[in-house]
């Protein structure tokens, strides 16, 4: 099964001559319906090993691309796992971002439509069903569903079975959709072990060669 997503516009990089915005993480509205909780928990462990100043310094190197309405409401177009992890640990945490889309309307529906037209929304739910209507997106990161297949792909990337493809939006979800069509034993985001041996074999097989990030048996 292929994940059919609309064509997308590349996200602009931050302008080094412009200062980053500092925003409460709790104020950022997501542009996807789900995350992989295995990655969220891993990122939380990383945050807990850092001091507060180290954490802020790190976040400054990972600015969030943002869309902003005329009323000042903001949507994040990346970094969902990292900031969901942080928000659970620190409800008043701040993040750094830069605006890639200014929308001359305060209506949420208009902003979501502008994002959708650019291919900057992921509208499949935690079971891989969709696309849902953009208004199904939750108002904050804590409302994101868990997608265990997204967790599985994160683990395969971490092991080097799948190559990263940062220029392709929702790269890991595309792999997750493909793995959903393979016969895997029951597993969860917090217990990936039952599915990993078969998932590694499938991800290395020639059947997956059309997916970006395929490495084969190398």
A 10 A CB-CB count for 68 gives 18
Dump pLDDT digits (tens) for 140-177: 999 999 999 999 999 999 999 999 987 788 899 999 99
Range of the domain at 30: 21-146
Dist CA 125 CA 10 (whole Å):
23
C-alpha neighbours within 13 Å on the C-beta side of residue 38: 19
Q: Residues 160, 142: one domain?
A: no
Six token digits for residue 70: 């005329």
pLDDT exceeds cutoff 90 at 4: no
Asked if 146 and 157 count as a contact pair (C-beta separation under 8 A), the reply is: no
Residue 218: its pLDDT value, please? 59
Q: Residues 121, 57: one domain?
A: yes
Query: What mean pLDDT is predicted for residues 87-116?
Result: 96
Q: Residues 69, 139: one domain?
A: yes
pLDDT exceeds cutoff 90 at 105: yes
Q: Residues 156, 142: one domain?
A: no
Residue 10: its pLDDT value, please? 86
Q: Residues 119, 184: one domain?
A: no
Q: Residues 62, 152: one domain?
A: no
CATH number of the domain bearing residue 136: 3.90.1530.10
List, in order, residues 6 or more apart from 32 with CB less than 8 Å away. Answer: 80, 121, 122, 123, 137, 144, 170, 173
In whole angstroms, what separates CA 102 from the centre of its chain?
A: 21
133 domain-assigned: yes
Asked if 80 and 35 count as a contact pair (C-beta separation under 8 A), the reply is: yes
**Domain end (from 146, 173, 194):** 146
Which residue, chain included where needed, has tokens 């092991």? 159
pLDDT exceeds cutoff 70 at 25: yes
Q: Residues 137, 71: one domain?
A: yes
In whole angstroms, what separates CA 113 from the centre of its chain?
A: 19
């Amino acid at each position: 099964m292929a994940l059919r997503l609309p064509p997308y516009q590349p996200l602009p990089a931050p302008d080094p001559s412009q200062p980053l915005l500092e925003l409460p993480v709790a104020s950022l509205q997501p542009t996807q319906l789900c995350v992989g909780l295995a990655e969220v928990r891993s990122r939380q462990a990383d945050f807990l090993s850092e001091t507060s100043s180290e954490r802020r310094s790190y976040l400054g190197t990972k600015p969030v691309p943002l869309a902003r309405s005329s009323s000042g409401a903001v949507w994040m177009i990346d970094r969902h796992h990292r900031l969901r992890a942080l928000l659970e640990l620190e409800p008043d945490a701040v993040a750094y971002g830069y605006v890639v889309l200014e929308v001359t309307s305060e209506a949420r529906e208009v902003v979501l439509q502008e994002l959708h037209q650019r291919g900057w929304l992921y509208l499949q739910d935690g079971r891989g069903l969709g696309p849902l209507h953009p208004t199904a997106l939750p108002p904050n990161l804590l409302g994101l569903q868990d997608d265990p297949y997204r967790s599985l792909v994160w683990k395969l990337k971490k092991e080097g079975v799948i190559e990263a493809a940062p220029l392709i939006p929702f790269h890991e979800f595309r792999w997750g959709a493909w793995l959903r069509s393979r016969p895997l034993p029951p597993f969860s985001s917090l217990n990936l072990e039952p599915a990993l041996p078969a998932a590694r074999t499938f991800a290395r097989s020639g059947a997956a060669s059309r997916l970006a990030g395929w490495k084969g048996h190398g």
